[in-house]
Amino acid sequence: MTASRRDFIKTSGFLVVGISVAGDLSFAQGLGAGPYPDVDFRQLDSWIVIRPDNTATFFVGKTDLGQGTGTAFRQIMADELDMPYDKTACVMGNTDVTVDQGGSGGSDALQTDGYPMRRVAAEARRVLLEMASARLGVPVAQLAVSDSVVSVAADPSKRVTYGELIGGKRFNTALTGNNINATTGVAKLKDVQQFKIVGTSPQRYDIPAKVDGSLKWAVDAKVPGMVHARNVKPPFAGATLVSIDESSVKGVPGLIKVVSKGNYIAVVCEREEQAIQAARQLKVNWQKPAAAPFPTSEDLFTFMRGAALTSSVPPVVVGNVETSIKGAAKVLEADYEIPFQGHTSIGPAHAMADPSNDQLTIYSNDMKSYGLRDGVAEFLKIPRDRVRVVWMEGPQAYGRTAADDAGFEAAFLAKEIGRPVRIQWMRNEETAWDTKGPAFAVKVRGGLDAQGNLVAFDYDARAADFNHLGYNEHDTVLISQLMGNRRAMPARGSAAMPDEKYGIPSRRMASSVVSLPLIWETPLRTGNLRDPNGPQATFASESFIDELAAAANADPLEFRLKLLNASEEDSGFKRARSIAVLTAAAAAFKWDPRPSPKRVSSGEILTGRGVAYTFRSQTVVAQMAEVEVNRRTGRVWVKRIVVAHDCGLVINPETLRRVVEAGTLYGLSRALHEEVRFDTEKVTSVDWASSPTLTHTDTPESLEVIIVNGDPNPKRPDLPHYGAGETMIKPMMALIGNAIFDATGVRLRRVPFRNARVLAALKSANV
Amino acid sequence: MANINLRVNGKAHTVDVDPATPLLYVLRNDLDLHGPRFGCGLGQCGACTVIIKGEAVRSCIRPISTVQGAEITTLEGLSQNGKLHPLQQAWIDEQVPACGFCQNGQIMTAKALLDKTPAPTDAQIRQGMASTLCRCMTYYRIQAAIKRASKTVSTASHESGSEVIA
C-alpha cells in the first residue's frame, strides 16, 4: 500500500466517504509526497476496506457521470459481501488510491467492470467466513451470514461481525487475473436470485450534497497559492501565431505571466476575473491559413459526398443486393444527413493542477482519470508515478472529458509557473472548440417485392471523422496540437452500420471515412460523443425502414415485427428481446396499427406518431412518440414518449428509469436542436443562442419508461447486467422524423428538425 | 479595486475587488460559496443563479457594485435551521439530478418562481424555467419536483395563513 493510500484510508472516516469522498478535498492536501505507483488490483485490500465499526469502503477505478453508477457499485458489492447497503461507501477514480479500471466510457460500468467488483466482494465474503470458522470453531458450511454478521446456523447466539474479524487489519489475500477485468478470487458469484440489494432502489448517495450546495466539485478545487488562467484561442481555424503584444495587458491587475508555445497562449493572473480580462485584452497577431480549413456547414454534405475516402471497412454482405434490387417491384433510394454535433457541456473545460513537492496533482472531472495521468506524464515528460489525478464530479458532456484539454493545460501551466494553476474555458471556446460527433452522409436503397416484403437493403455511410481523437493522448489533445505536435498516422476514424435484427434476404452495409481539408488544430476535431455514431447510423436506417413500410402501405410496427420474425436467433437473444421491447412499447403506447402517414388534417397543429428501435451491445430499446407539428411555425413538440428498455439484470430500477428518461430527452435535443455551424474560417455556433439545446418548454407531457426483461429465460441465475447509459439515445432522431412523417406526410432526411427547416419542408410539400 | 459590502445568506462581508467584477466570482472565490457555478458567463444558462430581492438573478453578468447592501441568497442559504427547503427535499425525493452541475440554477429559479406563484400550472412551470438549461436533460424530473414542492409550499402558506403575492 502506498503512503498516500494508507493516509487516505486512515483519514477518510466513514461519514465523510459516505457523503462524498470525491468532493472532500481535505484528504488530497498534505498527503504523502508520492511517488504514486499503481494500486495493485491483484490484492483484495486494494478493493475493499472493512473497519472495526462494521462499515466498508469500496475502491473502484470508475467514475460516475451522474448516472448513479457509484450507487450501483455499492449495491452489487454489498450484496455479494452480505453487508447492509447503508454501511458501505464508494471511492472512485483517484489514480493513487483506486485500481485502474480505466475510468468511464462505453456504458461498460456494470456490463464489464461490475464483474470484477462482484468477484472481489464475493472473495472478501469467502475469506471472512473462513476467519469466522476459525474464530467460532465450526466449519464454514455450518455458518450463516447476514448483514455482515456471521453466526453459527445451529446456534445464532454464537456470532461475530465482519468488523470484529477484519476491522483495522488487512486481508492480505492475493487475487488472480491477467488483466483487471479478469480479476478474481476463488469464491463463486451469487446466483442473481440470491440478491437482496440488487433490484431495489436505494437513493443515489451523491444527490443530497448536489442539492444543498455542499458538494465540492472539480470546479471548486482550491489550494493555497492557487492562481487563475485563461486561454487565448486562435480566432481562425488553422491560424498561425505571428506575435503577441504583451504591452496590451500591462495594466491588467494581478497579471503573472503570458505563456505561449507554438500557437498555444494562456494568461495567468492572481484572480479569475483578472485572467478573463487579460485574455480579452491581449493583442495577438495571427496569420490566416493559405487554404480554407473546411467548407461552410451549409456546403458540408456536398463536400463530403464529393470527397475522396480516407478509409473504408469491408462491407457486410448478405445475399446479393444488386440482383435483389433489380428484381424488386419497388425501389426506394434516399440520402440522410447528420451534421457535426458538439458535446456542449453545461460547464466548460476546467482543471486545477498543483506542482507542490515536485509532484503533479491534477484535480479533474476527467471521466478517464487514469488516462489523464498517463497522458500528462507523457506530455510533460515526467515519470508517471509523480502524477496523480484526483477525480471530482463535474458537468457532464458524456465523452468530452475523455480528451481532457483543460487537465493537460493546467498541468503544463502549473509546471511553467511553479504554482497551483486553475484553468477554465469560456463558453465561446467550449462550444466552438470542444470535441464533436462526426457528421454523416448516408445513402440508403431498398427493394420491395410485389407483396410489399423487404427483399433488399443497401446502406452506405460516410463520416467526416478522420483524425478522430482518442482518450487523453499526449499528441492529440488541443494544447499539444497547438504546440505543433503531430502524430505520423492520424486515427482513421469510423462510420457505423445500423444495429437491428431484421431478416432481409439481401443486404449490404458499407461504411467509410472522409477528411475535411484541415485535420490539425481544428475546432471540428471529432471525439466520442455519447453513443458515438449510433444516432447517425440509426437515423438513416430506422427512418428508411419507415419509408419502406410506407411504400409497402404497411403499419410501421408490423413491418418491423415481420422483419424480426424473419430473422435468425443469435447470442444474447437479441431477436427475441427486440420483439419483446417493441411489443411492450406498443402495449403501453396503445399503438394504433395503420400505415403512415395519417391523413393530414386542416388545423394548425398536425399530430402523428412514430416508432423506432435498435440495440447497443446487448441492450435493446424500442421507442414510440406522439408529436405535434405546428404548420404555421414549423415547431415540433413531442407530447408523449414511451421507451421500452431491456438491459438484462437491473441493479437499481428507479435510477435506471431516470437515466433512460434523461438519455431519451438528450436524444430528443440532438434530433430537434443541435448542430455545429461554421463558415470557411471558424465555428460560428458559440453560445446557447447560436447553439440551441432542449429546454423546459420542449419537455414532453408524458415520458414513460417500461423496464422489459425479454430474455427467453429471465429467471436464469447468471442473467447479465448490461450497460444502460446510451442505447436510448440512438433511435431518437429516427423516431421523431418518423412521427413527423406520420403527422405531415413529409419525410425529413436531415437533422436537426429546427422550426425553419421543418417549415420550409412543409411549405415545399404544400402542407 | 474597492471595498464592497455584501450581505449573503444573512451574513455581512466586505471584499476588496474591482467594482465591475461579476458577483459570481466573488461568491465562489472570495466567499467560498460554490452553489452558483460558471456555465456561460453570458446570462444564458442559469447555472450561476442567486436570489436578490425575490428575483432569480444571473450572477455571472451582475457587477458586484450593483448589489451592494442587497440581501443575496445562494443555494447554501436555502435551508433553514438545518431543514432543507421543500424544493431541495423534492429534488431528493424525485431523485432529480444527473450530473447535478446545473441544478443550482434549476432550484434557485424554481424558488423564485414558487415564491411568486406557489401553485404554478404546468405551463407556468415550463415558461418560468424556460431559460434554465440542463445538458443531462433532467427536465422531466425537475418539473415533477417543482409540482411536488409546490404542494408543500402551498399547504404551508395556507396553514400559516400568510398572504401570497402572485
What is the reported pLDDT for B1? 86
Residue A722 maps to a domain:
no
Top residue of A20, A210, A430 to mutate, by most chain B CBs within 10 Å, is: A210
B45/A688 touch (CB, cutoff 8 Å), yes or no: yes
What is the average pLDDT across A540-555?
Answer: 98
> Which residues 410-449 of A have a C-beta within 8 angstroms of B?
424, 426-427
In the structure grid, which three cell numbers stand for residue A763, read together? 411549405
* Strand pairing category for A702-707 and A636-646: parallel
* Distance of alpha carbon A564 from alpha carbon A477, whole angstroms: 43
Residue A195 maps to a domain:
yes
Q: Quickly tell me which residue has 457499485 as its cell.
A: A73
Quote the DSSP letter at residue A204.
P
A700: nearest CA partner in chain B: B140
On the question of a cis peptide bond just before residue A597, with omega within 30 degrees of 0, the verdict is yes
Same domain (yes/no): A143, A281:
no
What is the average pLDDT across A29-45?
Answer: 82
Top residue of A217, A346, A635 to mutate, by most chain B CBs within 10 Å, is: A346
Same domain (yes/no): A33, A96:
yes
B106: nearest CA partner in chain A: A211
List chain A residues with CB under 8 Å of B95: 203-204, 207, 654-655, 658
- Find the domain containing A366 and state its range: 220-289+349-424
* Distance of alpha carbon A622 from alpha carbon A583, whole angstroms: 9
Residue A132 maps to a domain:
yes
What is the average pLDDT across A242-267?
Answer: 98
Same domain (yes/no): A45, A166:
yes
Nearest to A189 by CA among A85, A127, A118, A109: A118
- CA distance, residue A345 to nearest chain B CA (Å): 7
Helix axes A732-744, A653-672, angle to 10 degrees: 60
What is the reported pLDDT for A18? 30
What is the reported pLDDT for A675? 98
Of B97, B133, B137, the CB nearest to A210: B97
pLDDT tens, position by position, A456-473? 999 999 999 999 999 999
Q: Which amino acid is at A488?
A: A
Residue A571: band (very low, low, confident or very high) from pLDDT cuts 50, 70, 90: confident
Same domain (yes/no): A144, A230:
no
Q: How many helices (H) and strands (E) are present in chain B, helices listed first?
A: 5, 5
What is the reported pLDDT for B157? 59
Q: Quickly tell me which residue has 488472480 as its cell.
A: A176
Q: Is A668 on the interface with B (CB under 8 A)?
A: yes
Question: What percent of chain A stands above pLDDT 90?
Answer: 93
Residue A709 maps to a domain:
no
What is the average pLDDT across A528-555?
Answer: 98
CATH number of the domain where residue A140 is located: 3.30.365.10
Residue A7 maps to a domain:
yes
Of B41, B104, B135, the CB nearest to A345: B135
A693/B139 touch (CB, cutoff 8 Å), yes or no: no
- B2-77 against B86-159: fold identical: no
Residue A184: band (very low, low, confident or very high) from pLDDT cuts 50, 70, 90: very high
* Strand pairing category for A440-448 and A454-464: antiparallel
Q: Is A235 on the interface with B (CB under 8 A)?
A: no
Q: Please give the CATH number for the structural domain made up of B86-159.
A: 1.10.150.120
* Distance of alpha carbon A564 from alpha carbon A574, whole angstroms: 10
The lowest-confidence range among A560-564, B29-33, B117-121, B150-154 is B150-154
Question: What percent of chain A stands above pLDDT 70?
Answer: 96
Quickly list H helices, B15-121: 23-25, 86-93, 103-116
Same domain (yes/no): A130, A241:
no
Top residue of A696, A697, A729 to mutate, by most chain B CBs within 10 Å, is: A696
B78: nearest CA partner in chain A: A212
List chain B residues with CB under 8 Å of A663: 137
Q: Which residues on adjacent β-strands are paired with residue A636?
A: A629
What is the average pLDDT across A185-189?
Answer: 98
Where are any strands of DSSP class E within A617-716? 619-630, 636-646, 702-707
Residue A91 maps to a domain:
yes
List chain A residues with CB under 8 Å of B74: 213
Q: Is A568 on the interface with B (CB under 8 A)?
A: no
Of B33, B88, B99, the CB nearest to A393: B99
Residue A436 maps to a domain:
no
A212/B99 touch (CB, cutoff 8 Å), yes or no: no
Same domain (yes/no): A28, A51:
yes
Same domain (yes/no): A247, A133:
no
Sign of the dihedral defined by the CA atoms of residues A6, A7, A13, A19, in that order: negative
Residue A617 maps to a domain:
no
Domain ranges (residues) in chain B = 2-77, 86-159
What is the reported pLDDT for A366? 97
Q: Looking at the 3D structure of chain A, how many domains does it have?
A: 2
ipTM: 0.96
A427: nearest CA partner in chain B: B40
Distance between first and last Cα of chain B: 40
Q: What is the mean pLDDT of chain A?
A: 95
| Superfamily the domain B2-77 falls into | Beta-grasp domain (3.10.20.30)
In the structure grid, which three cell numbers stand for residue A241, read together? 501565431
Same domain (yes/no): A236, A361:
yes
pLDDT tens, position by position, A275-323? 999 999 999 999 999 999 999 999 999 999 999 999 999 999 999 999 9
> Which residues 70-109 of B have a C-beta within 8 angstroms of A?
74-76, 78-79, 84, 88, 91-92, 95-104, 107
* Distance of alpha carbon A524 from alpha carbon A346, whole angstroms: 19
B163 pLDDT more than 50: no
Report the run of H or E that residue A233 belongs to, with start and end.
none
A10 pLDDT more than 50: no
* Distance of alpha carbon A508 from alpha carbon A497, whole angstroms: 10
Helix axes B139-160, A653-672, angle to 10 degrees: 110
What number of C-beta contacts closer than 8 Å exist between A and B? 179
A663/B21 touch (CB, cutoff 8 Å), yes or no: no
Report the run of H or E that residue A278 belongs to, with start and end.
helix A272-281
Same domain (yes/no): A415, A271:
yes
* Distance of alpha carbon A136 from alpha carbon A284, whole angstroms: 76
Same domain (yes/no): A207, A226:
no
From A403, A424, A445, the end of a domain falls on A424
Same domain (yes/no): A356, A379:
yes
pTM over cut 0.90: yes
- CA distance, residue B157 to nearest chain A CA (Å): 22
What is the reported pLDDT for A194? 97
Q: Is B136 on the interface with A (CB under 8 A)?
A: yes
